[in-house]
Structure 1
Amino acid sequence: MLYDEFNSYKNFVGADVFKNKATEKTDILKNLNPAFPVREYQKEALGRFYYYVEEYHQKQKPIHLMFNMATGSGKTLIMVANLLYFYQKGYRNFIFLLALATLSKIEGGGQI
């Protein structure tokens, strides 16, 4: 499973390898709403995503990934960061599906 493979890579290379990949993308992190600071486990998730997209040689195309995280853990913030990443790479068409009723409860009417 990809999760286990990445954990093995992390144990071999170093505990902060994925967090460091996320913090290298300062332009993406700076464009997120400062009212929602990026937590350490979110940096870990973003770093794993960047590693998969940029460096992982066994990735399947088209890319289909899932972020398996608890309710309220900030998956929407991670997805917005991923949209920014792909926007910088030249992509312009996105489909972003979510439970709008839940997101609209966020201050600002769901604008992140």
Structure 2
Amino acid sequence: MGLTFYWYPKCGTCRKAKKWLDDHQLSYQEIHIVEHPPTRVELEDFYQKSGLPINKFFNTSGQKYRELGLKDKVKTSSEQELLDLLASDGMLIKRPILTDGEKVTVGFNEESFEKTWL
């Protein structure tokens, strides 16, 4: 399976990650995370394979996150409730998400990308 790159084109971090992928000549399928967000099942799979805590999947700097007052809710909700919430709106999901079906990275960190994808 090739790389799948969930991104939001207006996001500066996503554009940096895309440039990194292009600069390293990695081929990928890009998916607009707001127009075609990952399903709840896909999000649960990403969460399990990433090894990250569920709260790392939230776009904590996003307007929607603040509007919904999720800062406290994330601390008290179950994983299942949080996955449902993430699946409800692509703007709540931290981006970009990059996966090859086995490994998953959330957000963009050049060092992490080099270690995981090269």
Flag whether TM exceeds 0.5 (same fold).
Answer: no
> Which bracket does the TM-score occupy, shorter chain normalised?
under 0.3
Which structure is higher in strand share? 2
TM-score by length of 1: 0.27
Which protein shows a greater Rg?
1
Q: Between the two structures, name the one with larger relative contact order (CA 8 Å, sep ≥ 6).
A: 2
> TM-score, normalised on structure 2?
0.26
